[in-house]
Structure 1
């Protein structure tokens, strides 16, 4: 399975950068604006999916990779890195970004009564994509001898219950765009730094320090809120829960490897390795 096109498209987006200059008080608020721009609008055409197979999975992958690359063009400090380091970081964080971003999208949709408690919502290109988990068929015949239901036996946790809990945590927090941008940065840069360590971890640690200072400025100067420890704690609780899910997925992927669950070979397996 050749996925070089995903990397090529992401590299083109990173090299192109922002179409027009954007002036914001700091990098975090610029990333928040970028997050708003890369996400779709609820008034776009809605596509209901009842089956996910190879075509749909590739559409998700391409959209996720492109979306993250576009978002990172709003981060001035990231744009100063070498092309090689930029693409390495992108490879390490793109799937992590998607976890939280889709959670937030579904939470917002539920808050606005756009989807029900069994429904999930995301944006793919120009479409609002929705699905009902209770009536969704996952076809893995193109990549595995096992069915999706059989693969659930490898999981020691109820993934649906975990997902609902996380969505409810986001609903309870009701993060602003700036807070959500910070959560995405903290989650992504922490995970990619832990994965690569060395020079990349030094860079991602520096990013997190800069963005933490920007978040403080946002609370104090924009929100006029000097006491914000409880909100930070709630944000980190969500991120820590997602990190636990990532770790469980890593353990599960090792089991998949041992039992030779997937028969498709990938040209860039590092894109799909769990941190």
Structure 2
């Protein structure tokens, strides 16, 4: 967001003493020093001492000294950039927010949404969410993972799938903020969940991020179905209209929906449009109830759905990677059925299990013409900074 300066005095970059243009990584600085810090932090220069041995810290720096200066004045990669283009009055920057949480007044990462008076589009920026995913990938798994095979290692991340009934809250209003919170929750959850799969950690960062951006929303779809099934098993008399989304349940018959932020059409038309990817004839509750899957089976179900979808969507290198993933997990599932469950004839059970995933993917493929038609009539007015992340999500 551009903010016009109201001060005649120009703040000075704390690194090079030239004119500053914003607050970058928590420090008033110029764009050049901010770019330098972003590119060099964590590089070989961070481990080196002064190249010349006598840098003039008032005028000229070698790269190691310049990076050290950035760190000395307080630059940190964890401090997100805000007001990065134009500076307002100097007084405004004397006490900048110490964190993004303090800046927005609530915990956690969020998606920025900004409207332009000259445009009917709502622009949603997810860069900070992707940066958080990269931080998680660079940090590695939260704890050491030990198991006899890949599938069982993966199933140790079942805590991200399992519904916590005692912590459920009622969703009274499904509005813009709730939608953003949902996207954020599932994208970060899927990132953490994938860290339990060794084969995923062997991929390049580019392939990892491509996979995450493509599978998070389909993972979310299955999670909503599985969570709703679990909830209805515990509370069978609460009616069939309740849907469980992350840590909240929503009564679809009475919940208040605010869709004005995403569309100029009436809310009933918007909800009908967003529901085109839902099951029409497949009874997912009945299918899950008939199988009553174990944690290992559910883990396989989530993984198979995600990798099958990503492979079909991207083809090429992604398809080769996801095919290899599925072969490894299918082999581990075979040993699980034969050795742990003593069920050598498991083909019928597995077929019933995979019908759930096939129904989800079929709903997506069949909805694509309708989603394209929605674009023609501008049903949704959302514009994403990374549209590939929302393809087939129902919002793009």
TM-score (norm 1): 0.91
Which residue of the other structure, out of 241, 249, 274, is the alignment partner of 1:130?
249
Distance 2:222 2:384 in 1: 25
- Aligned residues: CA RMSD: 2.1
Deviation at 1:160, TM superposition (A): 7.0
Deviation at 1:162, TM superposition (A): 4.8
**Are 1:35 and 2:153 matched, yes or no?**
no
Distance 1:56 1:248 in 2: 27
The corresponding residue for 1:271 is: 389
Distance 2:357 2:365 in 1: 12
Say whether the 8 Å CA contact 2:242–2:250 is kept in structure 1.
Answer: yes
For residues 77-120 of structure 1, the C-alpha deviation after alignment (integer angstroms, 9 at most, x for no partner) is: 10000111100011111111111111111111111227532111
SS of 1:243's partner is helix
The corresponding residue for 2:265 is: 146
The corresponding residue for 1:211 is: 329
The corresponding residue for 1:104 is: 226
SS of 1:43's partner is helix
Which residue of the other structure, out of 48, 59, 72, is the alignment partner of 2:194?
72
The corresponding residue for 1:194 is: 312
Q: What does 1:1-275 align with in structure 2 at a 5 Å threshold?
A: 1-37=124-160, 39-44=162-167, 46-113=168-235, 116-123=239-246, 128-151=247-270, 154=273, 159=278, 162=281, 165-274=283-392
Distance 1:249 1:16, change over 3 A: farther
Unaligned runs of 5+ in 1: none
Runs of 4+ in 1 over 6 A off after TM superposition: 155-158
Larger mean CA deviation between 200-209 and 165-174 belongs to: 165-174
For residues 149-179 of structure 1, the C-alpha deviation after alignment (integer angstroms, 9 at most, x for no partner) is: 113555896947557x222212222111111
Say whether the 8 Å CA contact 2:277–2:364 is kept in structure 1.
Answer: no
Distance 2:374 2:303 in 1: 29
SS of 1:212's partner is helix
SS of 2:365's partner is helix
Q: Which has the larger radius of gyration?
A: 2
The corresponding residue for 2:114 is: none
Distance 1:160 1:37 in 2: 24
For residues 30-78 of structure 1, the C-alpha deviation after alignment (integer angstroms, 9 at most, x for no partner) is: 211202245452222x321122110000000000001100000000010
Deviation at 1:132, TM superposition (A): 0.6
Distance 1:6 1:252 in 2: 29
Say whether the 8 Å CA contact 2:307–2:322 is kept in structure 1.
Answer: yes
Distance 1:161 1:50, change over 3 A: farther
More helix by share: 1
Larger mean CA deviation between 146-155 and 67-76 belongs to: 146-155
Deviation at 1:136, TM superposition (A): 1.5
Higher RCO (Cα < 8 Å, 6 or more apart): 1
Distance 1:197 1:57 in 2: 30
